[in-house]
Structure 1
């Protein structure tokens, strides 16, 4: 088979038509040959991310160099053939892979936190920008106009928005839930609780070394506030932040990132529980003084597959300074990325 045929042909590994009142969702997973992609697909299926009766057709997308790996991934997924898997296909042709997509998980050259100044001069940053641009252009040309797009990186989200001009900004979200989960795990360990008991934490701004977990509104499901149970200001104000920043800046958490991406999508798709919020990096609307034009992590409520920023929370002077500086860093990185392809 020649190169043209490889590019234009869609490869289907399995079709399992379900007798279901809901048509299957077309879910695109970019960089579909990666460990992160495989873990994400399994999590979506096993955890019923889109609901217990919603069948899914996955489309794996990657460059032509990885076509053989895409086939292996598709075969691996079908080996367990969960009931919700209506079908799985793969292609190196964006016109095929992104066509009529309902949901796109843009993994890109995986990076869930901001680049340092030195890293922005490296080839990896250029490739990161290039891949996000390809995704944005493909979404603009071929996907549904109400497609939901979930990315790992905040800058990737901004690039996709730039090149998918007809997609509403509110349809694009980026992951900050992993940092939230890491924070919950550290608090739970300190309080001898289970991480699932911790609710209403906040991750403002970004992941990684510049993240700032906000525990002031956090409580356990029995109603007791975290500050009431962990009566250790030094640990909460210093050790917790240090631990979160150290852990969330590690890029090798591919499976944890995959699980967090699926959970992010599940909350967006099926609503946050009553009285609870989650955190997502979304296109700022100037809430809490964060300027528009960047993706920034806020606490949000989700309902009917839309989000709404939690308003009226107290922002201390120190937090205002942090948010201002973090917004500057995000804007700087986004500007460099956008200018690189003008």
Structure 2
């Protein structure tokens, strides 16, 4: 067994947390040999609910859960933290202006970034799930300048998982039949770019199996609009699929994977995306570190694809300006 790590979960009284906390404590995220000291952070009115959550987690008798506490104070919660899972954000409401949406979230992530900068370990890793995830991650990192930007990531693994799933449905196969680099570029929004040209299904190019027409007219729009489609059907956003994607991202980041996965990380000039935003790239992970990979097929050499990559980048720059970062 390793020494325990301190893991902070924000929005811990919410629905996604309800799905993700048992899996974290079970070892699905950080590994089955990694003990955890868990801190649940939420607003003061939610503390009574968090006490009930603590009681339930205690009743599960998870061997890896060494300690657990709740707090409404970020300065207390993030003290000496090793990992932060940022679930809390201001949800988008019908009729809300985009500027108002970004401004409200800026306030949340500015406060938490300041706290992380002040009291967390300088080696802390941070995964942002709350939307708009890419820009919330940018705001958080901007207010925690003593933490390396490579230690921040926004969740686009949900979009990645959706892409794999939709290919499986179309090809009537399982995820194990899909190889190579299926990935998501850009923002977690309707401008995200799906990339399948480096992938195969049962050894054959993806386009040969599912058809180019499906990829263009159905596949990418379906992934881009999947979140809205789920809200339309169930009346609320994705919950356990988002929780599962977050666990996948944590596991691959912290435990490692040779497989190409999608992570929204700090841009560095790769694929023609200038530094300054958190942009989804194809990555591999080892030893708690990620690395953007060079795909066999370079999407920037395809003018149509490159235009899409730039459009998603421009949207992120626009969001950053509205959030007051640029």
Same topology, TM > 0.5: yes
- Aligned length in residues: 313
1:260 lines up with 2:237 in the alignment: no
Matched residues in 2 for 1:290 and 1:339: separation?
Answer: 17
Please report how far the alpha carbon of residue 115 of structure 1 lies from its aligned counterpart in structure 2 after TM superposition. 11
Whether contact under 8 Å (1:104, 1:150) holds in the other structure is yes
Q: Which runs of no fewer than 5 residues in structure 2 stay unpaired?
A: 232-236
Tell me by how many angstroms 1:213 deviates: 1.1
Residue 339 of structure 1: CA displacement?
Answer: 5.0
Q: Quote the Cα distance in structure 1 between the aligned partners of 2:270 and 2:317.
A: 16
Shift of 1:247: 0.7
Aligned equivalents of 2:68, 2:58: Cα separation in 1: 8
Distance 2:37 2:221 in 1: 41
Residue 196 (structure 1) shift: 4.3
Tell whether the 8 Å contact from 2:90 to 2:104 is kept in structure 1 after alignment. Answer: no
Q: 1:180 to 1:121 in 2, by over 3 A?
A: same
2:322 is aligned with 1:336: yes
Q: Determine the C-alpha separation between the residues in 2 that align with 1:164 and 1:155.
A: 14
Which aligned pairs between 1:8-157 and structure 2 lie closer than 5 A? 20=1, 22-109=2-89, 119-122=97-100, 124-152=101-129, 153-157=133-137
Could you tell me which of 155, 160, 181 is aligned with 2:161? 181
Note if contact 1:209-1:248 (Cα within 8 Å) is conserved in structure 2. Answer: no
Instruction: Provide the secondary structure at the position in 2 that maps to 1:89.
Output: strand
Q: Flag structure 1 segments of 5+ consecutive residues without an equivalent.
A: 1-19
Q: Tell me, yes or no, if structure 1 residue 314 matches structure 2 residue 298.
A: yes
| Alpha-carbon contact 2:185-2:279 (below 8 Å) kept | yes
2:190 is aligned, of 198, 202, 209, to 209
- What CA deviation, in whole Å up to 9, does each residue of 1:165-224 have, x standing for no partner? 10000000111110011111111011111234334211010223222211111224x433
Measure, in 2, the Cα distance between the counterparts of 1:259 and 1:142. 29
The answer on whether the counterparts of 1:129 and 1:159 sit within 8 Å (CA) in structure 2 is: yes
The answer (yes or no) to whether the contact 2:156–2:280 under 8 Å persists in 1 is yes
How far apart are the structure 2 equivalents of 1:140 and 1:108?
18
- The 8 Å contact of residues 31 and 107 in structure 1, kept in 2 or not, is answered as yes
Moved more, 39-48 or 177-186: 39-48
Deviation at 1:118, TM superposition (A): 6.3
Label 1:137 to 1:257 Cα distance change in 2 as closer, same or farther (>3 A): same
Q: 1:339 to 1:180 in 2, by over 3 A?
A: closer
CA contact (8 A) 1:161 1:169 kept: yes
Match of 1:246 in 2: 225
Shift of 1:308: 1.0
Tell me if 1:296 matches 2:279: yes
Using the alignment, how far apart are the partners of 2:191 and 2:88 within structure 1?
Answer: 22
1:335, 1:103 → 2: CA distance?
Answer: 28
Q: Give the TM-score normalised by structure 2.
A: 0.90
